[in-house]
Structure 1
Amino acid sequence: MAFDACCGRYLDHDTPAPDAESLMRSRYSAFALGREPYLLATWHPSTRPASLALEAGVKWLGLEVRLHKSVGEDHAEVAFVARSRLGGRAQRLQEHSRFVREDGRWLYVDGDLI
C-alpha cells in the first residue's frame, strides 16, 4: 500500500487514525521517518515521556501486525514485530501494545515486550 494511503494521511494531516492498528502502522512510519512530535502526540499522557530521542542510524525494515483485537469500544490491543538494522546488526522488536480512544483519537498507552 502506498505511504499516503496507509499512514501519510495521519502523519502529515490532522486526520486521526480510525483504529488502533492504523495508529500502530502510522507510529511505525513515524519511527522510520524520525517524526518524534507525532510519536509524542499519539502517546497517552499518562505514560508519555517528557521527550523522545530516536536512536540515530537505525534503518527500519518492516512491520508485521500479528494481532489487532478490540477489548471494548475504546480499548484495543495490537501485537506486532518490527524489524530494523543498526550498525549492520539485525534487530526485532516484538510487542503486545495497548491503545485507548479518547475524544475520537486513538492513543498508544503502553506495551509488553514479547
Structure 2
Amino acid sequence: MTSLCPCGLGRPYTRCCGPLHAGGVAETAEALMRSRYSAFVLADVSYLLATWHRDTRPPALDLGEAGATRWLGLEVRRHAMTGADRATVEFVARYKVGGAPAVRLREVSRFAREDGRWFYLDGEFA
C-alpha cells in the first residue's frame, strides 16, 4: 500500500512530492512549497537546503530532535505570480512539539525561478 503525500493533496507520495524529492523539477512555486512542507515532515534537510535560494540559504538547518515535531497539516491559502519568475504562496502549517499545544504557522513565502527551477527566497509570518 502506498502512503499519501504529507502535502495534503491526497495523492500517493510516489506520484506527488516524491519525484521532486528525488530531483524532479517543481512546475510552480506552490508545488515547490508543498514539496518543502513534505520535506519538513520527512526531515529531509538536504532537499530543504537544495531548494532554498543561494542568496538567502543558511549554511545549515537544524530541525531539532528527530521525531519531536509532529506535522498536522497544510492549507495553501493563496498562490500568486508577482512577475515572470517570481511568486508568493500564503499558507498555514500546523504542527505540535512534544506535549505542547498545536501551533499554527501562517506565512507568506516568496519564490524565484532561475534556469527553470523554483527556489524559496524567504517568508514573512502573517
> Normalised by the shorter chain, which TM-score bucket?
over 0.9
What is the CA deviation profile of residues 91-113 of structure 1, one whole-angstrom value per residue up to 9, with x for unaligned ones? 11110000000011000000100
Counterpart selection for 2:35 from 1, 26, 45: 26
* Structure 2 match to 1:2: 12
* Structure 2 match to 1:45: 54
What is the CA deviation profile of residues 18-50 of structure 1, one whole-angstrom value per residue up to 9, with x for unaligned ones? 110000000000000000010000000111000
- 2:91 is equivalent to residue 80 of structure 1: yes
- Report the secondary structure of 2:80's partner residue: strand
Distance 1:62 1:103 in 2: 31
Counterpart selection for 2:75 from 41, 64, 79: 64
Distance 2:27 2:87 in 1: 12
Q: Residue 61 of structure 1: CA displacement?
A: 0.9
Q: Residue 6 of structure 1: CA displacement?
A: 1.7
Which structure shows the higher helix fraction? 1
Q: Residue 86 of structure 1: CA displacement?
A: 0.7
* Structure 1 match to 2:110: 98
- 2:122 is equivalent to residue 110 of structure 1: yes
Count of residue pairs brought into register by the alignment? 113
Q: Residue 55 of structure 1: CA displacement?
A: 2.1
Query: Unmatched 5+ residue regions in structure 1?
Result: none
- 2:45 is equivalent to residue 36 of structure 1: yes
Identical-residue share of aligned pairs (%):
55
TM-score in terms of structure 2 length: 0.87
- Report the secondary structure of 1:111's partner residue: strand
Which amino acid is 1:19 matched to? T
- Report the secondary structure of 1:71's partner residue: strand
Query: Unmatched 5+ residue regions in structure 2?
Result: 1-10
Root mean square deviation, CA, Å: 0.8
Distance 1:76 1:102 in 2: 12
